[in-house]
Amino acid sequence: MLTGAGVSAESGVPTFRGAGGLWRSFRAEDLATAAAFARDPRLVWEWYDWRRRQLAAVRPNTAHDALASFAARAPGFTLVTQNVDGLHDAAGSADVIKVHGDIWDLRCTRCGFAARDTRVPLPELPPRCTCGATLRPGVVWFGEALPADAWARAQNAAVSCGVFLVVGTSALVYPAAGLIDMAKAAGAGVIEVNLDDTPYSALVDVSLRGKAGELLPSLLAC
């Protein structure tokens, strides 16, 4: 399973490219880059701190819950997410493969320091490492490589699965969206769940139109 921002939408988390996805008229692509962070670390951190505060106030929805309980019944199930919101973990999903990192992780721009820090708001922006350098969010920005281990595990799951579900993603961001091609090329049956059409809707075996929180519980009930 590959999930995107659409599975968190019913928790009240704005998607990236849907209505409400903008922050102070900035697009995610403008702020989620190393260049934007180098230019104005405080602005980028104000955006992340704002998202963290939003996320601290929301709960997993029925889509997250259905996935967490399905995993307990389907031992071979692998959950790969592009989301950095931590809601799959909060719903009880174990061993979530996070190909774009985690907004609750902070890491140093200079030394090897990395830690989970769920304080909202953070006491100072940008947060500082004990070594004196600036800490950054533990997420993958545009132009950055995906975490090697997570990406290797995600690819391995895509090429070895019998059924590949892709839920709540516009399938515009690569290389994550390429997992769909890998699964299809390896012979998996591909099922898409989305409110709207995506570039893959005509290519998958089944494309279900509707809300993840409404469709997943029945789809995964089998």
What residues line the site for ligand BV8 (CB under 6 A)? Answer: 4-6, 9-10, 15-18, 21, 29, 32, 82-84, 100, 139-145, 168-170, 172-174, 193-196, 198, 211-212
Closer to ligand BV8 by Cβ: residue 160 or 174: 174
Among candidates 139, 120, 124, which has minimal Cα distance to 52? Answer: 120
Minimum CB distance to ligand BV8, residue 196 (Å): 4
Closer to ligand BV8 by Cβ: residue 12 or 162: 12
Q: Which of 56, 111, 152, 221 binds Zn ion (CB under 5 A)?
A: 111
How many angstroms separate the CA atoms of 8 and 211, rounded?
Answer: 10
Return the number of other C-beta atoms located less than 10 Å from residue 16's C-beta: 19
Strands 189-194 and 114-116: unpaired
User: Checking phi first, is residue 61 left (phi over 0); if not, alpha (psi -120 to 50) or beta?
Assistant: beta
Minimum CB distance to ligand BV8, residue 112 (Å): 19
Per rule CB under 5 A, is residue 106 in the interface with Zn ion? no
Minimum CB distance to Zn ion, residue 127 (Å): 11
Choose the binding region for Zn ion from 41-49, 108-116, 118-126, 154-162 (rule: CB under 5 A).
108-116
Q: For residue 137, which phi and psi values (nearest 5 degrees)? A: -65, 145
Distances (CA, A) of 17 to 6, 63, 102: 10, 20, 19
